[in-house]
Amino acid sequence: MKHVVIIGNGIAGITAARHIRKKSDFKITVISGETDYFFSRTALMYVFMGHMKFEHTKPYEDWFWKKNRINLLKDWVIDVDFALKKLVCQSGCNIEYDDLILALGSRPNRFGWKGQDLKGVQGLYSYQDLELMEENTTEHAVTRAVIVGGGLIGVEMAEMLLTRNISVTFLVREGRFWGNVLPAEEGAIVERHMKEHCVELQFNSELEEIVSDDKGRVKSIRTKAGEEISCQFVGLTAGVSPNIAFLKESELETQRGVVVNKFLETNQPNVYAIGDCAQNTEPVEGRRSLEQVWYTGRMMGETVANSICKEKTAYNPGIWFNSAKFFDIEYQTYGTVLPDLQLGERAFYWEDKTGKICVKIVYDESTNVVKGVNTFGIRMRHQVWNRWLHEKKSILYVLEHLKDANFDTEFYKKYEKDIVDKFNAENATSIVLKRRNWHRILGAG
Amino acid sequence: MKSIRNIGLGLFLSGFSIFIASLFIGKYSISEERLSNLYDSTEEIDKGDTIVASLTKAASEMGLINKEFSSQFTFSSTLAELFKKSNESIATQFILDEGITEEEMKGLIQISIESNSVVYSESLVSVIFPENKTKQKLLIDNTSWMFVENKEYENTADFKNDLGNKVNEINGKLGQEYFIWDNKYSRFDFVKASLFGPVHDNKGLFLLLTFGLCIIGSLMYILPGVVLMGGPGIKNDGIYHDASTNRGWIGILAFGFLFFFYILLYFYPWLIVNWTSIVDPIKGLFVEGAVASQWFLYGLLYCVAMIVMGIRMFVKYRNNRYQIIRTSSVLFFQIVFAFLLVEILPLFDLPAMDLKNAWPLDFDMFFDWNVKGHLDAGTVGIFMFVWGIVFSVIVIPVMVYFYGKRWYCSWVCGCGGLAETLGDPYRQLSDKRLIAWKIERWMIYSVLVFAVIMTIFTGYHSYNEVINPDMVGSKDVLFGLSAYNIREWYGFLIGSIFAGVIGTGFYPILGNRAWCRFGCPLAAYMGLVQRFKSRFRITTNGGQCISCGNCSTYCEQGIDVRAYAQKGQNIVRSSCVGCGVCSAVCPRGVLKLENGTNDNWSRVEEPVIIIGNDGMLEVTRNAPEVAEQ
Ligand SMILES: Cc1cc2nc3c(=O)[nH]c(=O)nc-3n(C[C@H](O)[C@H](O)[C@H](O)COP(=O)(O)OP(=O)(O)OC[C@H]3O[C@@H](n4cnc5c(N)ncnc54)[C@H](O)[C@@H]3O)c2cc1C
Ligand code: SF4
Ligand code: SF4
User: Does residue B90 sit in the same domain as residue B34?
Assistant: yes
Report yes or no: A16 and A298 within 8 Å, Cβ to Cβ. Answer: no
Query: A354 in contact with B at a CB cutoff of 8 Å?
Result: no
User: Does residue B372 sit in the same domain as residue B496?
Assistant: yes
Looking at residue A80, what is its pLDDT? Answer: 97
User: Does residue B149 sit in the same domain as residue B87?
Assistant: no
Ligand 3 centroid to Cα of residue B559, in Å, is 7
Least reliable range by pLDDT among A250-254, B24-28, B239-243: B24-28
User: Does residue B386 sit in the same domain as residue B528?
Assistant: yes
Report yes or no: B326 and B420 within 8 Å, Cβ to Cβ. Answer: yes
Distance CA A305, CA A316 (A): 14
B346 part of a folded domain: yes
Q: What is the CATH number of the domain that holds B609?
A: 3.30.70.20
Looking at residue B627, what is its pLDDT? Answer: 46
User: Residues of A with CB below 8 A from B433's CB?
Assistant: 61
Looking at residue A26, what is its pLDDT? Answer: 98
Q: Edge-to-edge strands of the sheet including A99-102?
A: A70-74, A27-32, A3-7, A99-102, A271-273
Residue B625 CB burial class (10 angstroms; 0-12, 13-18, ≥19): exposed
**Are A43 and B548 within 8 A, CB to CB?**
yes
Percent of chain B clearing pLDDT 90 (strictly above): 51
Q: What is the mean pLDDT of residues B591-611?
A: 90
List the single residue in A with minimal CA-CA distance to B587. A325
Ligand in nearest proximity to the CA of B560: 3
For domain A321-441, the question of CATH label 3.30.390.30 is answered with yes
Least reliable range by pLDDT among A218-232, B145-159, B200-214, B438-452: B145-159
List the single residue in B with minimal CA-CA distance to A293. B546
ipTM over 0.90? The verdict is: yes
**Are B550 and A383 within 8 A, CB to CB?**
no
Over 70: is that where the pLDDT of B391 sits? yes
Least reliable range by pLDDT among B42-56, B169-183, B217-231: B42-56
Query: In 3-state terms, chain B is what percent helix, strand and coil (to 5)?
Result: 65, 5, 30
Ligand 2 centroid to Cα of residue A408, in Å, is 15
Q: Which of A192, A409, A436 to mutate to test the interface with B (most CBs of B within 10 A)?
A: A409
**Are B238 and A21 within 8 A, CB to CB?**
no
DSSP for residue A406:
B
Rg (CA), chain B: 31
Helix residue ranges, H only, A49-165: 63-67, 127-138, 152-162
Query: A56 in contact with B at a CB cutoff of 8 Å?
Result: yes
Comparing A302 with B485, the larger pLDDT belongs to: A302
Q: Which of B329, B427, B588 to mutate to test the interface with A (most CBs of A within 10 A)?
A: B588
Q: How many domains does chain B have?
A: 5
- Mark which of B506, B534, B562 sits at the end of a domain: B534
Looking at residue B43, what is its pLDDT? Answer: 60
Percent of chain A clearing pLDDT 90 (strictly above): 98
Comparing A248 with B177, the larger pLDDT belongs to: A248
Q: What is the mean pLDDT of residues B82-102?
A: 86
User: Does residue B180 sit in the same domain as residue B239?
Assistant: no
Looking at residue B565, what is its pLDDT? Answer: 97
Q: What is the mean pLDDT of residues B393-409?
A: 96
Looking at residue B45, what is its pLDDT? Answer: 62
Over 90: is that where the pLDDT of B483 sits? no
User: Does residue B345 sit in the same domain as residue B453?
Assistant: yes
Out of B232, B239, B619, closest to residue A306 by CB: B619
Q: Which of B241, B546, B603 to mutate to test the interface with A (most CBs of A within 10 A)?
A: B546
DSSP for residue B495:
I
For domain A121-238, the question of CATH label 3.40.1280.10 is answered with no
Q: What is the mean pLDDT of residues B140-161?
A: 84
What is the extent of the structural domain holding B365? 229-534
A377 lines ligand 1 (CB under 6 A): no
User: Does residue B257 sit in the same domain as residue B347?
Assistant: yes
DSSP code string of B7-63: HHHHHHHHHHHHHHHHTTS-EE-B-HHHHHHHHTTSSSHHHHHHHHHHHHHHHHHTT
Distance CA B250, CA B273 (A): 27
The pLDDT tens digits of the residues spanning A136-187 come to 999 999 999 999 988 899 999 999 999 999 999 999 999 999 999 999 999 9
Write the CB contacts of B416 (distance below 8 Å, at least 6 apart in sequence). Answer: B330, B408, B409, B410, B513, B516, B577
Q: Which residues of chain A have pLDDT under 50?
A: 445
Distance CA B566, CA B574 (A): 20
Alpha carbon of B338: minimum distance to chain A alpha carbons (Å)? 26
Looking at residue B42, what is its pLDDT? Answer: 60
Distance CA A67, CA A48 (A): 31
B192 part of a folded domain: no
User: Does residue B493 sit in the same domain as residue B615?
Assistant: no
Main-chain phi, psi angles of A371, to 5 degrees: -105, -30
Q: What is the mean pLDDT of residues B302-317?
A: 96
Distance CA B410, CA B407 (A): 6
Quickly count: other Cβ atoms within 10 Å of residue A121's Cβ.
Answer: 23
Alpha carbon of A414: minimum distance to chain B alpha carbons (Å)? 12
Quickly count: other Cβ atoms within 10 Å of residue A181's Cβ.
Answer: 18
The pLDDT tens digits of the residues spanning B254-280 come to 999 999 999 999 999 999 999 999 999
Report yes or no: B15 and B209 within 8 Å, Cβ to Cβ. Answer: yes
> In terms of Cα–Cα distance, which of B352, B349, B311, B303 is closest to B328?
B311
Distance CA A103, CA A7 (A): 6
Over 60: is that where the pLDDT of B69 sits? yes
User: Does residue B541 sit in the same domain as residue B524?
Assistant: no
User: Does residue B354 sit in the same domain as residue B207?
Assistant: no
B626 part of a folded domain: no
Rg (CA), chain A: 24
Over 90: is that where the pLDDT of B121 sits? no
Over 50: is that where the pLDDT of B624 sits? no
Looking at residue B215, what is its pLDDT? Answer: 97
A10 lines ligand 1 (CB under 6 A): yes
B210 lines ligand 3 (CB under 6 A): no
Question: A23 in helix, strand or coil?
Answer: helix
DSSP code string of B335-386: IIIIIIHHHHGGGGT-----TT--TTTSTTTTSHHHHHHHHHTHHHHHHHHH
Determine the straight-line distance between the first and last CA of chain B, rounded to whole angstroms. Answer: 52
Judge if A3-107+241-309 and A321-441 fold alike in CATH terms: no
Mean pLDDT, chain B, whole residue set: 89
B43 part of a folded domain: yes
Fold (CATH) for A3-107+241-309: FAD/NAD(P)-binding domain (3.50.50)
B627 part of a folded domain: no
Over 80: is that where the pLDDT of B480 sits? no
User: Does residue B2 sit in the same domain as residue B66?
Assistant: no
- When pLDDT is cut at 50, 70 and 90, the band that residue B629 belongs to is very low
B62 part of a folded domain: yes
Main-chain phi, psi angles of B505, to 5 degrees: -55, -35
Distance CA B346, CA B343 (A): 6
B416 lines ligand 3 (CB under 6 A): no
B491 part of a folded domain: yes
Main-chain phi, psi angles of A322, to 5 degrees: -165, 165
Looking at residue B626, what is its pLDDT? Answer: 45
DSSP for residue B493:
I
Comparing A369 with B597, the larger pLDDT belongs to: A369
User: Does residue B233 sit in the same domain as residue B332?
Assistant: yes
Alpha carbon of A44: minimum distance to chain B alpha carbons (Å)? 8
Looking at residue B621, what is its pLDDT? Answer: 61
